[in-house]
Amino acid sequence: MYTQALNARDTEAGAVEDADRVAAFQARVDAEEKIEPNDWMPEGYRKTLVRQISQHAHSEIVGMLPEGNWISRAPTLKRKAALLAKVQDEGGHGLYLYSAAETLGVSREELTEQLLSGKAKYSSIFNYPTLTWADIGAIGWLVDGAAIMNQIPLCRCSFGPYSRAMIRVCKEESFHQRQGYELLLEMVRSSEEQKEMVQDALNRWWWPSLMMFGPSDTDSQHSAQSMAWKIKRFTNDELRQKFVDATVPQAHYLGLTIPDDKLSFNEATGHWEFGEIDWDEFMRVIAGNGPCNRERLAARKKAHADGAWVREAAIAYSRKRADRREAARHAAE
Amino acid sequence: MTEKTTPLWEVFIRSRTGMAHRHCGSVHAGDAEMALQAARDVYTRRGEGLSIWVVPSAEIIASDPAQKDEMFEPTASKIYRHPTFYEIPEEVGNM
């Protein structure tokens, strides 16, 4: 349980940290002990986790938009119900993650403000548009698949609340991936036209999915420290390679071609080798200039602004009821 | 704007009759009733529970990790508190 009072930021924040405390902290991490909200932690550890967990939460929330785009147009009632359940899950994942971030002494309101002002990032993938129904299947298979690759090691993250949130999230993500893949399987078996739709979706989502693992190890700013703190367990490139190795055979099973002419299987290493990612595109999307960045943020801002009076009403009503209860108690005394 | 922050609630769920309530996460909600509804939607959609408790997070008082030695150490040194401290002759059988 996570009391907020004890989680207030260390008063000495900004001061030079006691080397003994830092060493004791590192020793606990090295011994695979979980760090809990009320434990002392280096300011850098706290900041890194707030950044990572909140951006993870933002990704879940913004990620409801590209899929939500197809709820009213899903081709069958079964698929529509599954998509609704999935989007509901994503909302729940956002909540678990905001809760985990809040144990570090930030409020959800602050984090939401950072998202809406563009100060905090969310996963680059959700800045791509969903143009056909097959995109919904591709998101389940590739995007949730990439998310699982990233998140399974996070179940062993050194920060207790984050690792516990990830265990719940991973269970549900694997269900999303399966339903996405099954959707595509049904499409490729149905007609040539539907199969083409699936191939087109793969062509558009393949590279953005590989970009979900972040910059290459040589360019990743946070990697080394995050590995030492056991926030990260594998490097970006290691996870990306695992994803490619797992996914290429799944694509072949669907009878699809991966849109990469450099892709080849290396018998000696047992890995699929793949072409260079378009890092210029990645940087563009991260900087706010991808295909849907403006639209996504505008939708979140609108929901937040238009909902303000509803939030105020809820608070006013709860205050009124609390006052009434108080008055009734006085009257009874 | 007069909007105030929405309070945080800790959520405890009991999965089966006879089991204890376990902490499973938290939700933000304007009042207790909405906290219960949010907890139901977020944490029990796959048959996870039969009973929910929600508690305002501000009401919970946690032990201080800096005092964990004083708080929890004595049990190990007081071996007479442990069942294995007392020897029963083998002939008596399981006890």
Asked if A106 has any chain B CB less than 8 Å from its own CB, the reply is: no
> Which residues of chain B lie closer than 8 angstroms to A311, CB-CB?
3, 6, 30
Listed in sequence order, the residues at least 6 apart from A187 whose beta carbon sits closer than 8 Å to its beta carbon are A134, A137, A194, A195, A197, A198
Contact state of B58 with A315 under an 8 Å Cβ cutoff? no
Whether residue A167 has pLDDT greater than 80: yes
Opening angle at CA B43, ends B41 and B48, nearest 5: 115
Asked whether residue A5 carries a pLDDT value surpassing 70, the answer given is no
Out of A42-56, A137-151, B42-56, pick the least confident: B42-56
CA dihedral sign of residues B3, B4, B10, B14: negative
The secondary structure of residue A15, as a DSSP letter, is S
Q: Is the pLDDT of residue A204 over 50?
A: yes
A80 burial (CB, 10 Å; 0-12 / 13-18 / 19+) is: middle
The whole-number pLDDT of residue A187 equals: 97
Beta-sheet strands, E only, within A14-86: none
Q: What is the mean pLDDT of residues A269-289?
A: 96
Mean pLDDT of A283-292: 94
Nearest by CB: A314 against B27, B34, B43: B34
Over residues B17-25, the mean pLDDT reads: 88
Give dist(CA A242, CA B48) in Å, integer: 32
Residue A56 has pLDDT above 90, yes or no: yes
Q: Which of B6, B8, B60 sits opposite A315 (nearest CB)?
A: B6
Mean predicted confidence (pLDDT) in A31-49: 93
Supply the pLDDT for residue B44: 87
**Does residue A263 or residue B7 have the better pLDDT?**
A263
What is the distance between the alpha carbons of residues A267 and A320, in angstroms, rounded to a whole number?
Answer: 70
pLDDT digits (tens, 9 = 90+) for B29-47: 989 999 999 999 989 887 7
**Lookup result for tokens 């937040």:** A304
Q: What is the model's pLDDT at position A6? A: 39
Could you tell me what percent of chain A has a pLDDT over 90?
84
- Strand A271-273 with B8-14, pairing: unpaired
Predicted confidence at residue A15, as pLDDT, reads 58
Residue in chain B nearest A109 by alpha carbon = B5
Give the range among A41-45, A113-117, B62-66 with minimum mean pLDDT.
B62-66
Q: Say if CB A111 and CB A101 are below 8 A apart.
A: yes
Supply the pLDDT for residue B1.
39
pLDDT bucket at A305, cuts 50 / 70 / 90: very high
Residue A300 has pLDDT above 50, yes or no: yes
Instruction: Using a CB–CB cutoff of 8 Å, tell me whether A312 touches chain B.
Output: yes
Q: How many residues does chain A have?
A: 333
Q: What is the pLDDT of residue B49?
A: 81
Give me the pLDDT at residue A201, please. 98
More confidently predicted of A136 and B89: A136
Distance from CA of A242 to the nearest CA of B (A): 30
pLDDT category at B4 given cuts 50, 70, 90 is: low
In this structure, of A111-120, A232-241, B41-50, the range with the lowest mean pLDDT score is: B41-50
The mean pLDDT value for A176-185 works out to: 94
Length of chain B in terms of residues written: 95
Query: How far apart are the CA of B76 and the nearest CA of chain A, in angstroms?
Result: 20
Write out pLDDT tens, residues B58-91: 899 988 877 777 777 766 677 777 777 888 888 9
Please state the separation of Cα A195 from the chain's center in Å.
29
* pLDDT at residue A134 is higher than 50: yes
- Check if the interface score ipTM surpasses 0.85: no
Tell me what the pLDDT averaged over chain A comes to: 92
Residue A7 has pLDDT above 50, yes or no: no
- For every residue of A271-324, DSSP letters joined together read EEE-----HHHHHHIIIIISSSHHHHHHHHHHHHHHTHHHHHHHHHHHHHHHHH
A83: enclosing H helix or E strand? helix A77-102
Query: Cβ of B26 and A5 within 8 Å?
Result: no
Shortest CB distance from B30 goes to which of A38, A95, A314? Answer: A314
Report CB contact under 8 Å: A315, B60.
Answer: no
Phi-psi region of B76 (alpha: psi -120 to 50; beta: other; left: phi over 0): alpha
The percentage of residues in chain A with a pLDDT greater than 70, rounded to a whole number, is 95
Strand partners, B11: B25, B54
Q: Are strands B8-14 and B51-56 parallel, antiparallel or unpaired?
A: antiparallel
Give the C-alpha separation, A205 to A260, whole Å.
12
Q: Residue range A256-284: average pLDDT?
A: 97
Q: Which residue has the tokens 């956002």?
A: A94
- Residue A315: list chain B partners with CB under 8 A: 3-4, 6, 30
Q: What is the CA radius of gyration of chain B?
A: 21
CB–CB of B65 and A39 under 8 A?
yes
Q: Under an 8 A CB cutoff, do A92 and B26 touch?
A: no
Instruction: Enter the pTM of the model.
Output: 0.86
Q: Which range is least confidently modeled, A98-107, A198-207, B70-79?
A: B70-79
Distances from the Cα of B77 to the Cα of A169, A219, B12, B84, B85, angstroms: 41, 52, 33, 13, 12
Closest by alpha carbon to A168, among A92, A72, A85, A228? Answer: A92
For chain A, state the CA radius of gyration: 22
Picking from B25, B30, B43, the nearest residue to A318 by CB comes out as: B30
**Residue closest to A142 by CA, chosen among A277, A232, A248:** A248
**B contacts of A88 (beta carbons < 8 Å):** 41, 45
Contact between B21 and B54 under an 8 Å Cβ cutoff? The reply is no
pLDDT higher than 90, residue A173:
no
Q: How far is B20 from chain A (nearest CA, A)?
A: 15
